[in-house]
Chain A
Amino acid sequence: MTKEEKYALAVMVIDHALKSGAQEVSVSIDENRSNEIEIRDKKIDKLLESNSLGLTVSLYVDRKYSSHSTNRMKKDELIRFIEEAVTGTRFLAEDQFRKLPEPELYYKGGGTDPGKLDKTLDTIDTRTKIDMATAVHDEAFGKDERIISVSAYYSDNIYNKVLVTSNGFKGDSEGGNVYLSAGVSMKGKTSRPSDSWSETSIFIDKLTKSGIGSKALQRTINKLDPVKIKSGKYPMVVENRVVMNLLSPVYNALSGYSIYQKESFLAGKIDKPVGSKLLTLADDPSIPSSPGSRLFDDEGLAATKRNIFEDGLLRNYYIDTYYGRKLNIKPTSGSASNVIMNLGTRDAAGLVSTLKKGIFVTGFNGGNCNGSTGDFSYGIEGYYVENGKIIHPVNEMNITGNMNQVFFNLVETGNDPRKGRSFMIPSLLFDNIDFSGI
């Protein structure tokens, strides 16, 4: 379906919903195309192709709200779908806060295209993709007699979307990405570790294509035969690749939903210290050709750069229109765009070199965080470090603490955020973390 056809369909749905009794309507139509290829132990394991199209309509009927999605695009079915949805919405309770965003907050056009689509992605033939994955696979396969299995994976994805609202917003966006990864499983004397490495990019010519298989292999070799160490308080370096595991509960706690539902340990803390002075994070939707870049968000709100944390002080939440009205806070946006952190001067290895006796965390295994209180506990794996040197891998350990405290223990930030990610968070060094082991 072309962009123009999507706009026409969205307008038809809005018109029919208004005729059927809705006072306000929002419609989005999303199209996604993707390809996945997996090579395992010298053979193509999977070739998958996906094309999907979906329509979501949000209805505001007599101050009542509902939202519906379907992949059935036949006009006569959609018309009945809308009519029944409007009828059903009337059974719900009124909610004075359910309205479309204020039109003055919408993106009004004229912005620079975020540059998130590589149009050449559509032209790459399957053979080339298979060859790319095979090259990744061959960097590891057969390179060590302890290898059990090697897999390599290629995927690409292209999407486009239109959003139209009955109070004046009309906008479209498009993007895509390409991804290569390798996974290696090995058999050691006392363990069967596996590890992986991946690279991703919006543009095929900027994708790092070599070194993926060999890195996955080396990471797996490094993890052979781990030893659990004694429980205790240790400093901890968290590798850039997995640092989002610690940031995710913070991001959940920043949402208007969590704050309103009293499931946020950051509620009521605007302009208050929530971490050490090194905690400085901004949300920046305007970085050219970055995965999180955008001109407007899912509601059509104009995208703006905002500081989230400044020198350890909480400055902004992520507030959508509905919870903004309920909390009486001006909406920012309900979702993150690109998140950038102030960088330090060293990479993960540099941070590890400062540890006298500590743990370098390179993987998380399960665990959770209580959103209301900030209490967390996560399984980890990584390396035991003494005098700046990695001594041996560790596994089957937990870290436990409280999110309100742990970012005060942030003592150094790295300079190594990973390429091609919307969350550009470097490796981080924390002091005094509770580890449970033997």
Chain B
Amino acid sequence: MNYKRREFVKLGGLTLAGTVLLPPFLKSCTGVDVSKGLQGYLNHFEVDPGLLKKIIGEAMGKGADYADLFFEHTIENYSTLEDGKVNQAFSNIGFGIGIRVLKGDQTGYAFSETVTPDAMLKAARTAANIANSSAKTASVNVSEVISPDYYPVKVSWENTSIKDKIPYLQKVNDRIFSLDKRVTKVNATIGDTTTYVMFFSSEGKFATDCRPMAYMYVTSIMEQNGRVENFGVSRSARQGSEFLTDQMVESLAKEAVEKNAILFEAGKPKAGEMEVVMSAGESGILLHEAIGHAFEADFNRKKTSIFSDKMGKKVAENFVTIVDDGTLPSDRGALNIDDEGNPTEKTFLVTNGTLTSYLHDRISADYYKVKPTGNGRRQDFRNIPIPRMRCTRMENGPHKKEEIIASVKNGIYVDNFSNGQVNIGAGDFTFFVKAGYLIENGKLTKPIKDINIIGNGPQALSDIVMAGDDTVLSKSTWYCGKDGQSVPVSMGLPTIKIKKLTVGGTNA
């Protein structure tokens, strides 16, 4: 499979509608009784430790080195406002078990959407086919993985009615229309997901997690003298329905209108290479694309990443420290455990300018003989875990935002993005700038919009010549796509200056 390009998209635009129903929508599958701990999960997935061991035995039956079971139950709701009314709601239930078998770095995988013993044993036999010798299972002690809870929930989404969500959609609609007469349409969505995960491996590792996720997305459409512009903004967090606040609605409404209004004045810069100042927060997309994917250890194990021969080497200025962090409370990228049952952590990718770690899953950690970093993630039980980012961010640098902008004679300042991508082997990355400004003689001047920026990862990393002391996390709804799997991520950055990137624009 040659998926060298990694796509990264911020929730935007189209039909990602929102909420759902009910007083807790699916009573027939109400969530796990978390208060009962491990037993609550076992009851929910209708299994016991004896059966789990039997399935593992079947999976290891052809001489595998390792096997794991990933049970998942996901309840997803979203509801949408269109034409001033919350007039559509959607939901999805996903339930099943994924069975993975490893022989060296080779993977066999199958899943079942029913958890009857027969169905699970059949899936185990299918996955076992990656190995082809005689069985060598040994009994192991079962131990539960205990991890901190980085996303405690005050009010669970399963106990939140659609009635409680509708007023927030209505408020954001009314507020946006009240802010500017040029507004002609508002689309808004509230979405929530609750995922229960239970993990069991041939090494006896037993882990569970309950993962909430929430987002609210708003698009304003404005018209001026026959011209139409749209601007989408969003917020996301691993929270229960305490996520919904009037304060969030107000900030979304203001941002959706103020940033859209600027687009009517915006043009395109001159095409070519120039200095680029990236704003604090959302510009973390640079880290995600320019280096984050290339630090995922599967690409390095396979030697396809442009960073595969740079471990321990100087890759950036001394003031550059970049981490991938799964421990930020209620952050969209937070994880208590990854999808291989490993506790999450704050992983230092670049420390004072030197490459210090890749992002590992089980296979790559074995290959590099290092401890797993808790980056083995998967979209759902239908997919295998692979190294993925969580919250990728850069720590504070020594400069002030004002001095960074003042240092640029001719360049651009960029602060809103919709998507990015990277070509892992070549290292060429891009991000699409929804809005920004020209910088002329050290000052922000004309607004710009809708341009693509392209650069090369290692070059851009070494070209970060200034970094501000104002690092901030983006709260937007970022999704990362790799090998056909989408996972939620987040990012952060201080204001930085890159010496040279190629900016889309005109040649008039």
Known: A44-B106, A367-B432. A372 touches B2 (CB 8 A): no
A368 x B418 contact (CB < 8 A): yes
| Chain B CB within 8 A of A49 CB | yes
A365 x B423 contact (CB < 8 A): yes
Known: A151-B2, A194-B426. A71 touches B96 (CB 8 A): yes
A45 x B426 contact (CB < 8 A): no
Known: A53-B113, A378-B452, A396-B456. A47 touches B425 (CB 8 A): no
Q: How far is the CA of A378 from the CA of B421 in the complex (A)?
A: 11
B88 x A45 contact (CB < 8 A): no
| Chain A CB within 8 A of B370 CB | no
A68 x B4 contact (CB < 8 A): no
A87 x B21 contact (CB < 8 A): yes
The DSSP consensus for interface residues of chain B is strand
Provide the residues of chain B in CB contact with A184, threshold 8 Å. 2
Cross-chain contact of B20 among A88, A194, A435 (Cβ < 8 A)? A88
Q: How far is the CA of A412 from the CA of B318 in the complex (A)?
A: 52
Known: A38-B1, A72-B93, A183-B1. A47 touches B130 (CB 8 A): yes
Known: A48-B109, A91-B21, A396-B454. A77 touches B1 (CB 8 A): no
Known: A64-B87, A87-B21, A153-B1. A400 touches B93 (CB 8 A): no
B162 x A93 contact (CB < 8 A): no
Q: How far is the CA of A192 from the CA of B299 in the complex (A)?
A: 13
A395 x B13 contact (CB < 8 A): no
Cross-chain contact of B452 among A41, A66, A398 (Cβ < 8 A)? A398
Provide the residues of chain B in CB contact with A400, threshold 8 Å. 268, 271, 451-452, 504-506
| Chain A CB within 8 A of B229 CB | yes
Cross-chain contact of B110 among A49, A191, A399, A435 (Cβ < 8 A)? A49
- Chain B contact residue count (CB 8 A cutoff): 98
B451 x A377 contact (CB < 8 A): yes
Q: How far is the CA of A89 from the CA of B14 in the complex (A)?
A: 22
| Chain B CB within 8 A of A65 CB | yes
| Chain A CB within 8 A of B353 CB | no
Nearest CB in chain A: distance from B114 CB, A: 8
Nearest CB in chain B: distance from A43 CB, A: 6
Which of A257-265, A271-279, A281-289, A353-361 is near enough to bind chain B?
A257-265
Nearest CB in chain A: distance from B110 CB, A: 5
Which of B208-216, B302-310, B323-331, B340-348 is near enough to bind chain A?
B302-310
Which of B22-30, B199-207, B400-408, B466-474 is near enough to bind chain A?
B22-30
| Chain B CB within 8 A of A167 CB | no
| Chain B CB within 8 A of A2 CB | no
- Closest residue of chain B to A233 (Cβ to Cβ) is B507
Cross-chain contact of A434 among B229, B449, B506 (Cβ < 8 A)? B506
Q: How far is the CA of A106 from the CA of B25 in the complex (A)?
A: 32
A84 x B21 contact (CB < 8 A): yes
Provide the residues of chain B in CB contact with A92, threshold 8 Å. 79, 86-89, 162, 166
| Chain B CB within 8 A of A375 CB | yes
A372 x B230 contact (CB < 8 A): yes
A436 x B272 contact (CB < 8 A): yes
Q: How far is the CA of A341 from the CA of B15 in the complex (A)?
A: 28
- Closest residue of chain A to B223 (Cβ to Cβ) is A262
B426 x A192 contact (CB < 8 A): yes
Provide the residues of chain A in CB contact with B321, threshold 8 Å. none
Nearest CB in chain B: distance from A145 CB, A: 14
| Chain B CB within 8 A of A98 CB | yes
Provide the residues of chain B in CB contact with A436, threshold 8 Å. 271-272, 502-505, 507
Provide the residues of chain B in CB contact with A72, threshold 8 Å. 28-29, 93, 95
B166 x A91 contact (CB < 8 A): yes
Provide the residues of chain A in CB contact with B505, threshold 8 Å. 398, 400, 434, 436
- Closest residue of chain A to B73 (Cβ to Cβ) is A72
**Interface bits A367-381 vs B (CB < 8 Å: 1, else 0):** 111111101111101
Q: Could you name 25 residue pairs across A and B whose Cβ atoms are closer than 8 Å? A: A38-B1, A47-B107, A68-B21, A68-B90, A68-B92, A68-B93, A72-B95, A81-B26, A85-B25, A91-B163, A148-B304, A185-B4, A228-B502, A262-B184, A262-B223, A263-B13, A366-B420, A367-B430, A369-B450, A370-B230, A372-B221, A379-B428, A396-B502, A436-B505, A438-B273
Additional A-B contacts beyond A377-B432, A395-B426, A398-B452 (5; CB < 8 A): A40-B302, A196-B2, A232-B507, A257-B15, A263-B13
Give the 3 A-B residue pairs with the shortest CB-CB distance, closest first. A183-B2, A88-B21, A366-B430
Binding site for A on B (CB under 8 A): 1-5, 7, 13-15, 20-23, 25-29, 79, 85-96, 105-113, 126-127, 129-130, 161-163, 166, 184-185, 187, 221, 223, 227-230, 268, 270-273, 289, 302-304, 306, 382, 384, 418-432, 449-456, 502-507
